[in-house]
Amino acid sequence: MNSRLLPAAIQAGNGIWLFFVIYCAFLLGIGWLGRRARTAEGSLSDFYLSARSMSLWVLLPTLYATQYSGNTLVGFAAKAYRDGFTLLVCVTFMMGVVAMYLLYAPRLFALSRRHDFITTADYVHWRFGNRWLTTLVSISGIVAMANFIISNLKAIGVMTEAATAGQTPAWVGICFFAVIILIYETMGGLRSVAWTDVIQGLVLFAGCIVIFIAVILQAGGVGSMIQQIREAAPQFWDPPSLPQQIEWFSTLLIISVGIALYPHAVQRIYAARSSQALKKAFQVMVYLPLFTTLLMLSVGWIGRTRFPFLDASASESITMDLLAAIAVEVPAIQWVVFLFLAAVFSAIMSTIDSALLSISSMITQDLYRPVRPDLPEKNLTTFGKYSSFAVMAAAVLFSIFINKSIYKIIEIKLELLAQIAPAVLMGLYWRNLRAAPILWGLVIGLAVSLFFVLGSMFLPDGLIPRKPLGIHAGLLGLIINLVLVLLIQILGRNRGATNRSGLSTEE
Amino acid sequence: MTTSKRQWLRVLVVLVLLTATVPWGAGRLMSGMIGLLPGWVWYALILNVVFATGTCLLYEKWWKDESVEKDCVDVDDSLRREPDQ
């Protein structure tokens, strides 16, 4: 996003910092309320899971705000501008995420109540009893979430610079918002994060609806809009080719699996007050891509009629360009630009705070607690807060000073998370499944995914493809992961090495 | 094959058939009647609505507290083991 087309009213920076300050003061107030609402002082469950008491009215917006990031408003529209109607797959994969939850959330929720799980790796350890596997699952989650934080901090810096017409350097925005997030997160843990998500989720949802309506009205209605798109980009009418269709399915699978296993999403499953609240939240969630993703894709398509010749880089700011053009024509709706900025900042902040809390819980519960098993929970919670400070400080430094070639590495997120799927899903349904097949599947799956992703980034062009066989590297890794799990499990069983629980050989 | 597995398979086959045929037919119909968008875009749009509604209904059908609780007791019992060494 750049500042070249921000409307004058916004570019002058009039009120934008005032808006930031009021908005952040509001978030801090909510964080403080979250602190006052603590039920069990210092317990991990209270800090990281809001004492497992989240009602539907908190659960739904927090799941929503967590699942959608700044990329929904900025990235999806830009891709739709470039690739046309084929981007409709984005709506399907956001629904696919909710369908994936159905496969594991009911059982995992019930088990989490019986065994007091805090993290995904907690469940994996309870299920397989293998410390190596637990640690690897946890580290995969930590790395993926750290990448999320760095990329979103980077985005918030760019947005701050754009919103203030370059008057505020990116690093100031990064530091300012990082401090705000840290304060409200460490004050009340998940309770504060989820309550701020309610506000951020509402702003995001309202932003998508209002932006879409403003853009449609300006285009002269739906019929006129489609006609204009047809004239500006007749190639959008071409059906997707076979390689594109393969890529569709690949995208659908890798994103559905990867996002459904976000560690912070799993935490929200544990934090639900009841299974009914969780079920209802997911039943509403499955329709939200129609009111969020689809609307932002439409904005990208309409953008094509106004600015037909933008290159890939310039098209990244298509939503802002479009709103700026409309605001110039109809000054009365300049507030929509503010709403867009508010929605983007909300989406980014809700992603960072959730990922940060999730990392803190994984470091504390999965890595530190096994080393200090006798430490009281209060001390562990304090350690978790310190770890949040350390992680945020490192992420801020990375996002400000990171080398451009290394920056590519932070794109690796879903490739890592998808490899955890067999441990979570198959572990819930396959009673005799042992730890060894899952561990080997995970190791090889991660190795294959990273080989292709890193190879395509750092080796000479074309030597290693980013998408082997036309599918995502993470999906290829997952397929190999699954095949290995099946093979090792079946071969091991044939050798008679398993007992009923299948765990004696692993210990 | 157990009854539960057979039920899963039946639901899966019905879902695949419904997903492949209903939105495709509806997409052709919409494209013919309303026009505006090409048939495959109507298909994708209707498919998304069908997918969302199907998922919502499956949540209602499969996520029943009693059955999930019973599953968890079974899983719990079958996985009960000595603590990690």
Chain A hits for B65, CB-CB cut-off 8 Å, are 275-276
The answer to whether A111 contacts B62, with C-beta atoms less than 8 Å apart, is no
Domains of chain A: residue spans and CATH: 3-411 (1.20.1730.10)
The conformation of residue A432, written as its DSSP 8-state character, comes to: T
Confidence of residue A268 (pLDDT cuts 50, 70, 90): very high
CA distance linking residue A187 with residue A428, whole number of Å: 35
The gap from C-alpha A444 to its chain's centroid, in whole angstroms, comes to 24
* A476, A483 Cβ separation under 8 angstroms: no
CA distance linking residue A454 with residue A475, whole number of Å: 15
* A151, A396 Cβ separation under 8 angstroms: no
Decide if pLDDT at A153 tops 70. yes
Confidence of residue A286 (pLDDT cuts 50, 70, 90): very high
CA distance linking residue A170 with residue A157, whole number of Å: 4
Closest CA to A351 of A67, A42, A16, A4: A67
Model pLDDT, residue B82: 47
Nearest to B84 among A89, A109, A507 (CB): A507
* A16, A163 Cβ separation under 8 angstroms: yes
* A92, A252 Cβ separation under 8 angstroms: yes
The answer to whether A431 contacts B69, with C-beta atoms less than 8 Å apart, is no
Give the nearest chain B residue to A502 (CA atoms).
Answer: B79
Distance (Å) from the alpha carbon of A286 to chain B's nearest alpha carbon:
6
Q: A54 in helix, strand or coil?
A: strand
User: Which secondary-structure segment (H or E) carries A161?
Assistant: helix A131-163
Distance in Å from the first CA to the final CA of chain B: 37
Confidence of residue B44 (pLDDT cuts 50, 70, 90): confident
The answer to whether B75 contacts A98, with C-beta atoms less than 8 Å apart, is no
Other Cβ atoms within 10 Å of A111 Cβ, number: 21
Q: A229 in helix, strand or coil?
A: helix
Chain B hits for A88, CB-CB cut-off 8 Å, are 41, 44-45, 48
The gap from C-alpha A216 to its chain's centroid, in whole angstroms, comes to 28
Decide if pLDDT at A495 tops 90. no
Give the nearest chain A residue to B74 (CA atoms).
Answer: A431
Model pLDDT, residue B80: 52
Chain B hits for A294, CB-CB cut-off 8 Å, are 48
3-state helix, strand and coil shares in percent for chain A, rounded to the nearest 5: 80, 0, 20
For range A355-374, the mean pLDDT: 95
Query: In this predicted model, what pLDDT tens digit does every residue of A11-60 receive, in sequence order?
Result: 545 567 788 888 899 899 999 998 888 876 678 999 999 999 999 999 99
Tokens found for residue A269:
């499953």
Following CA atoms A91, A110, A192, A152 in sequence, which dihedral angle do they give, to the nearest 10 degrees?
A: -40
Write down the pTM of the prediction: 0.88
Tell me the DSSP string of A356-379: HHHHHHIIIIIIITTTSTTS-HHH
Decide if pLDDT at A501 tops 50. no
Confidence of residue A5 (pLDDT cuts 50, 70, 90): very low
Cα four-point dihedral sign A404, A409, A413, A414: positive
Other Cβ atoms within 10 Å of B41 Cβ, number: 21
Interface test with A, best of B49, B81, B82, B85 (most A CBs within 10 A): B81
The answer to whether A131 contacts B84, with C-beta atoms less than 8 Å apart, is yes
Could you tell me the CA-to-CA distances from A135 to A38, A121, A123, A319, A420 in Å, in that order? Answer: 30, 7, 12, 41, 12
The answer to whether A88 contacts B45, with C-beta atoms less than 8 Å apart, is yes
Could you tell me the CA-to-CA distances from A312 to A78, A81, A88, A152 in Å, in that order? Answer: 8, 9, 19, 20
Confidence of residue A484 (pLDDT cuts 50, 70, 90): very high
Q: Residue count of chain A, please give it.
A: 507
Model pLDDT, residue A504: 37
Model pLDDT, residue A506: 40
Distance (Å) from the alpha carbon of A47 to chain B's nearest alpha carbon:
26
Chain A hits for B76, CB-CB cut-off 8 Å, are 111, 114
ipTM above 0.95, yes or no: no
Distance (Å) from the alpha carbon of A51 to chain B's nearest alpha carbon:
21
Query: In this predicted model, what pLDDT tens digit does every residue of A423-435 receive, in sequence order?
Result: 999 998 888 899 9
Chain A hits for B69, CB-CB cut-off 8 Å, are 110
Comparing A431 with A139, the larger pLDDT belongs to A139
Considering only CA atoms, give the Rg of chain A: 23
Model pLDDT, residue B75: 66
